[in-house]
Amino acid sequence: MRAALLHGFGDLRVGEIPDPVLGPEDVLVRITRVQPSVTEAMLIAGEDITLHDHLRERLAAGSPVQFAGHEFAAVIEELGTQVTGWSVGDRVTGVETIDCGTCPYCTDRRGVVCTRPQFLGFTLPGAFAEFLSLPAKNLVRLPEAVTAAQATAIQPLVGAIHAQSIADLRSGETVLVTGTGVMGLLAIQLARHHGAGLVVATGRSAAKRELAERLGADVVLDASGGDVTEAARDLTSGIGFDVVIETAGGAPSAGLAGADTMRTAVGAARYGGRIVAVSVLLDSTPLPLAQIRQKGLALLHPTSGREAGAPTVDAFELALGFVRRGIVDVDSLITHTLRGIDELPRAVEMTLAKNTYGAINPPQVELVGE
């Protein structure tokens, strides 16, 4: 089959590799649509963020690495011998986090806190390929009303749901969302849906600021001119925000706002407030600890995967439900679609320069038309 192979940092090419091996509890899916994540694009570029060391070691081992692709839509092509409940032709997406099944938590049936998880597209082959083999337990069934494009964009919404869940937002609370990229725009919609009293966003792009307002932000501040901490805090009569969802930070090479965004988040939070770190910051980021201590803040990092908040809630099903019922608009975020597997490297390149291309979501690549 054909797949995207990373030959070195910044060198992603589509090449020929053997078809995936199908285990008895696995399912082989044909990828219909996929999009790079900003995190994947940063890792491909060689940025020193989470999992960089892991990727560097794999590249140093010699062979090109099949990398990227955890945000996708697919159709089941073949079932492992022990798989039940699924049929060839079912439309699916997948949960990127795969618990190991052997660590103390997994053997105690608490796989959600597995200490040795694997991640599709990162530590395991992903959907930057024609086919993908993944455990049947990681499949998510797509409702008929949800398009492949929406399904491909569902994983970031799951991340936003996890962020919302850990923020523990209470009705009427004030929320600041730093950044009006995909994660910021999703956070705005979820904060609105969950009863925030005031939703303020900050963003550098005029078009995205306009979209942020349309998607539910009460006030959107222009961050292109520099620090907006004071302006944001003034909107709460100087008290500061109950919750800050930080989505703006990250590698400037990927068009993100660097590491100072955490300083904005800390400065804008109220005494005793909560900051949810959604952005993927460079390792060894200076954290304004003195101010965090002085204000008694909690800095929270959301989980990933299927479980969200309550044991009965499947975050993927919840996200698909939000899209199906029109509670969250992902269509407005999907600005660019490329066609054919050969476009995968270009999609990554465009993801690293979304501002240049006027893209909001990373470009999606359609491999098979619906």
Note the residues at the interface with other proteins (CB under 8 A): 48-52, 103-104, 113-115, 263, 271-272, 277, 280-304
Q: Based on CB atoms, which residue is closest to other proteins, 113 or 124?
A: 113
Q: Are 332 and 188 in contact (CB under 8 A)?
A: no
Q: Are 321 and 333 in contact (CB under 8 A)?
A: no
Q: Rounded CA gap, 364 and 343, in Å?
A: 10
Minimum gap (Å) between residue 117 Cβ and other proteins? 9
Minimum gap (Å) between residue 51 Cβ and other proteins? 7
Strand 310-314 to strand 307-308: parallel, antiparallel, or no bridges (unpaired)? antiparallel
Minimum gap (Å) between residue 155 Cβ and other proteins? 16
Minimum gap (Å) between residue 28 Cβ and other proteins? 29
Q: Are 329 and 189 in contact (CB under 8 A)?
A: yes
Q: Are 316 and 143 in contact (CB under 8 A)?
A: no
Q: Rounded CA gap, 229 and 263, in Å?
A: 9
Residues in contact with 41: Cβ distance below 8 Å, sequence separation at least 6, in sequence order: 254, 348, 351, 352, 362
Q: Rounded CA gap, 95 and 70, in Å?
A: 8
- 270: tokens are 């109220």
What number of other Cβ atoms are within 10 A of residue 358's Cβ?
11
Q: Based on CB atoms, which residue is closest to other proteins, 295 or 346?
A: 295
- 362: tokens are 């990373």
Distances (CA, A) of 75 to 177, 308, 324: 35, 25, 19
Q: Based on CB atoms, which residue is closest to other proteins, 193 or 295?
A: 295
Q: Are 70 and 150 in contact (CB under 8 A)?
A: no
Q: Based on CB atoms, which residue is closest to other proteins, 115 or 253?
A: 115
Q: Rounded CA gap, 31 and 256, in Å?
A: 29
Minimum gap (Å) between residue 135 Cβ and other proteins? 20
Q: Based on CB atoms, which residue is closest to other proteins, 230 or 331?
A: 230
Q: Based on CB atoms, which residue is closest to other proteins, 52 or 192?
A: 52
Q: Based on CB atoms, which residue is closest to other proteins, 100 or 338?
A: 100
The sign one gets for the Cα dihedral 228, 233, 234, 236 is positive
Minimum gap (Å) between residue 139 Cβ and other proteins? 23
Q: Based on CB atoms, which residue is closest to other proteins, 283 or 331?
A: 283
Q: Based on CB atoms, which residue is closest to other proteins, 15 or 286?
A: 286
B/e letters for 187-199, b = 16+ CB within 10 Å, e = fewer, are bbbbbbebebebb
Minimum gap (Å) between residue 89 Cβ and other proteins? 36
Minimum gap (Å) between residue 99 Cβ and other proteins? 11
Minimum gap (Å) between residue 353 Cβ and other proteins? 23
- Report the chain's C-alpha Rg in angstroms: 20
